[in-house]
Amino acid sequence: MACIEARGLRKAFGKTVALEGIDLRVEEGRILGIIGPNGAGKTTALNAILGLTPYQGELHVLGRDPWRERDRLMRDVSFIADVAVLPRWIRVWQALDYVAGVHPRFDRAKAEGFLAKTTIRQTSRVRELSKGMVAQLHLALILAIDARLLVLDEPTLGLDILYRKQFYDSLLNDYFDRSRTIVVTTHQVEEIEQVLTDLMFMDRGRIVLHCSMEDFEARYLEVMVRPEQLDAARALKPLNERQGLGRSILLFDGIGRDRLSALGEVRNPSIADLFVAVIGKHSGQAQGAA
């Protein structure tokens, strides 16, 4: 069953097109990473999914129209924005009280269990907490809600590497159980590579790549080419070529490992390297068409 399904999803702000007729299907029980440069349309897509902005085209989230049925949808959806919005004056126990009062699926004992793993005191005010602690508090509040869909928009923005690792460890070990769906946008792609089940690149309001991580690992390979094999490697039309450790590294789409192994050392690319190759090619095509 699809958790999110969009057809011809479009959104424009005046003359600026943020989403240009995208088609998207996200199955339940998946973790989708949406990656793209600033202005690619990531946050606009999330806002449409959350029912925060009107749109053109068809969009269903958990079988509902998010714009017309947002109140019902929000019973099954949790959201963490790129900036924690907890009031600075509120105490931790008051934040727990508030969420318990407004959300019927909030499990206070579960939230307190998350907080027990931190150094956060329930008597502290938000303004007394470090940025990392505020993120931990926000995480405890959100992950204690029994939601079917969790939407994360740059959830670790501004946090140091320790807090970022703890965040994703909690996400996998304390929350995800393959009955929930998670959609996350981030610029820190290297940190979510082992978390994702599905990958999507966006650029200029379009989806330029959407695949499972299994397809990503099977389809894309890069080769550190031996100098005498460089012409032969270039003849196979790589997606991208860069220099590393004094050698040429070429990235290929859909060419078998056995064939490439004759050219040099073969390995799977990182998501970041594939992103640079795909977005660079897409931007070049867009400029050429213009």
**Could you read off the pLDDT of 5-22 as tens digits, one per residue?**
999 999 999 999 999 999
Work out the number of other CB atoms within 10 angstroms of the CB of residue 211. Answer: 15
Question: Residue ranges per domain, the chain?
Answer: 2-204, 215-289
Which strands sit side by side in the sheet containing 247-253, from one edge to the other? Answer: 240-244, 247-253, 220-225, 264-267
Whole-angstrom distance, CA of residue 123 vs CA of residue 61: 38
Mean pLDDT for the chain overall:
90
Residue 289 has pLDDT above 50, yes or no: no
What angle, rounded to 10 degrees, do the helices at 92-102 and 131-143 form? 30
Q: Give the CA angle between residues 19, 21, 26 to the nearest 5°.
A: 85
Cβ–Cβ under 8 Å, residues 6 and 158: no
Residue 287 has pLDDT above 60, yes or no: no
Provide, rounded to the nearest whole percent, the portion of the chain with pLDDT above 90. 67
What average pLDDT does the segment 120-142 reach? 89
**Could you read off the pLDDT of 219-276 as tens digits, one per residue?**
999 999 999 999 999 999 999 999 987 889 999 999 999 999 999 999 999 999 999 9
Whole-angstrom distance, CA of residue 136 vs CA of residue 241: 40
Element (H, E) at 212: strand 206-212
Residue type, 140: A
- Residue 254: DSSP 8-state: S
CATH 2.30.110.10 is held by the domain 2-204: no
Residue type, 240: N
287 forms beta bridges with none
